[in-house]
Amino acid sequence: MRCVSQTLGLVIGLALFLLFSGSTGTAQNALTVCPRGCEFTKIQDAIDAATAGDTISVQPGFYRENLRMTKSLMLQGADMASVMMSDGAAPTIDIVGDPNAPLQVTIEGFTIVGTLNPQLTDVGIQSRFARVTISRNVITRHGSYGVRIVNGVATIRANTLTVNGGAIALGSPSGAITLTTIERNLITKNRKPLSGIMEGNGSISLLGQSGDAQVTENVITENEGDGLDLSLGPAFWTIARNTIASNTGAGVTLGSSVFGRIQIESNTISRNGGDGLFLKGGNRVFVFSNLIASNGQDGIRLDPSSSADIFLMDNRIREQKLWGIGGLIKACHPESADAKETLVGSIRGQDNVIPDKSEVGGNQRGDVCPEGLRFLKNK
C-alpha cells in the first residue's frame, strides 16, 4: 500500500510539474537576434536553427533581409523598434506550410518595410497553408499588398498598414481561406495594388474563396480605391463597427461574382469618393444600423443585375451627393452607361432614415430611387 501511495504521489507531482511548466513533451526554446553581441545577427539564421514551437526574439535594430518560414514559430519583435526591410521583390516574410500539416506562426511587434520602389510587386507578409497571427506591426511601402493570405487561417489584429499597394488581400482563385479575423487595424493611405499578384480595387480585397470572416473595429481611411472590395468567391462575412471614410472609391463594394451571406452592421461609412455601399453580389445581404453619410455618389447603390436578397434596416443615410438609396437604372442614373431598365433582386427593409433633398441632412438628388423603394423608410 505504501508503494502504491508513493507511486501515486510521484504521478501527481509529475502531472503538476507538466501543467505549471507548460511542457507538452516538446522542448521550446527562445532564440535571440540582435545587431551585434547575440548568438544570431540575422533573423533567417535563427529561423533555420530553430525547431517547431520555438520563439525568436528580435531585439531593436535594423535587419535588411527577406525571410522564409517553413516551421511553426513565434517571431517576436520589440514593439515595432525591430525593423525589417526587404532586400528584393520577394515577400519580406514568406510563410510556406504543407497542406497536410499547416504551420502555426505568430508575427508580432515589427516594422516591416518594403523596397520603397513603387514599381515592384513585393508583399509584406505572405502566408500559405498556415494558421497565422499577425499583430501589433507596422507594415508599409510594399508595391502590392501589406499582407496576402493565399489560404489557411489568419488573425490580423492591431496593425498599422500604410503606403502599400493595397493593405490586405485574401484568397486566390485556387486558394481557400477557412477563417479570417481582421480587427482593430489602422489601414490608411494605401494605393491601388499593382498588377503581378491579383488586382483588387480596395484596401482590403477578397480575391478568391473565403469561409467565415470577421472585419471589426478597423479604421479604413484615405486609401485609393474602395475601403473594402469583395471581388469574387464565396463569402460569409461580418463587417461591423468599422470606420470606413475618405477613400477615393466606394466605402464597400460587393462584386457581382461574390456569393454567400454578408452582414454589414453598425459601421460609419462616410466621405468616400464613390458610393457608401455598392451592392452587386451576394446571396443574402443584411445592412443594418449603419451611418452612411456625405459620400460622393449614392449612399447605397443597388446593381440591377444582382439577384441577391437584400435586407436594409435602421440605417441613417444622409447628405450623399446623389441618392440616399439608388438603383443603377436609367430612371435614377441617366448619366451612366451601365444603367439598366429595372432592378431584379429582392429588396426588403424598414426603419431607415433617409432625408429627401428638401429636408435637413437631405441627399442631394433625393431620398430613394426608384419610387418603389420608399417603403424602406416606413416604421
Q: The whole model's pTM is what?
A: 0.89
Residue 196: pLDDT band (50, 70, 90) is very low
178 three-class SS: strand
Q: What is the pLDDT of residues 127-184, one digit of tens each?
A: 999 999 999 999 999 888 999 998 889 999 999 999 998 899 887 656 566 788 999 9
Q: How far is CA 6 from CA 9, 19, 327, in A?
A: 5, 20, 79
Provide the mean pLDDT of the chain: 86
Rg (CA), the chain: 25
Q: How far is CA 272 from CA 148, 261, 292, in A?
A: 24, 24, 10
Q: What is the pLDDT of residues 231-275, one digit of tens each?
A: 766 678 899 999 999 999 999 998 777 778 899 999 999 999 999
Q: What angle do CA 124, 127, 133 make, to 5 degrees?
A: 85
DSSP letter string over 62-103? EEE--EEE-S--EEE-STT-EEEE-SSSS-SEEEE-BTTB-E
Residue 59: pLDDT band (50, 70, 90) is very high
Would residue 172 be called left, alpha or beta, if left means φ above 0 and alpha means ψ between -120 and 50 degrees? beta
pLDDT for residue 53: 96
Intra-chain end-to-end CA distance of the chain, in Å: 78
164 three-class SS: coil
